[in-house]
A and B are shown apart, each in its own frame.
Chain A
């Protein structure tokens, strides 16, 4: 099983600042990495796939980078609606996907 590890568990950032979230895979997943945003009581929302491709309708302030085992989600100029939990997911081992444990992005 490919283990996904996200850091930090909680990130406190002020509105307007930049947030950088990390995700590490226990073995290479190439670029088969997705990021999701989840707000309380809602289903996850796809943000990024292929490590760096924004999903339809996702604002340009969200960007993804990385390949192999180390990945980053960057949110530039945070807005109030961006405070949520973010999950990474590998899909290199189709369809036995694994998720990271999540990073909670909270208002500082």
Chain B
């Protein structure tokens, strides 16, 4: 069974940092783009960042560019999101998700980890 399990969320002060992890299992890790999507309390889904299967291409939403860094470690089947200079508007549940076989749509999602900036 394909699974994604996020960790690393918590309460942090504005201007602080946090690193989220997403451990993958049940599929060939290096074959798929992985994405971070967040959801602020009571709001909709927002794409945050994506990284290609090989890790050589990384993309960011304008709202986090220059503050967040996505990376992946194939030896650990884990994708990371390093979040610096955190702001109140970064408060959200952060989900990682895997691209589907044909790319672009996300067929496996983790349950999410909560980040509170206050």
Which residues of A line the B interface, CB within 8 A? 32, 34, 36, 38, 42-46, 49-50, 55-56, 87, 89, 91-92, 94-102
Contact = CB atoms under 8 A, between A and B. Distances in A.
Contact of A46 (B45, B47, B52, B106): B106
Contacts of A91: 103-105
Given A99-B45, A99-B47, A102-B44, A94 B112 contact: no
Interface of B: 33, 35, 37, 44-47, 50, 52, 59, 61, 95, 97, 99-100, 102-107, 109-112
Nearest to B34: A95
B99 A95 contact: yes
18 contacts: A34-B105, A42-B111, A44-B95, A44-B97, A46-B109, A49-B100, A49-B104, A87-B44, A89-B45, A94-B33, A94-B104, A95-B35, A95-B50, A95-B104, A96-B50, A99-B44, A99-B47, A102-B44
A12 to B, nearest CB: 19
Contacts, number: 70
Given A56-B107, A89-B105, A97-B47, 17 more contacts: A38-B45, A43-B109, A43-B111, A44-B106, A44-B109, A46-B106, A50-B105, A91-B103, A92-B104, A95-B33, A95-B50, A95-B52, A96-B47, A96-B50, A100-B44, A101-B44, A102-B45
A50 B103 CA distance: 10
Contacts of B111: 42-43
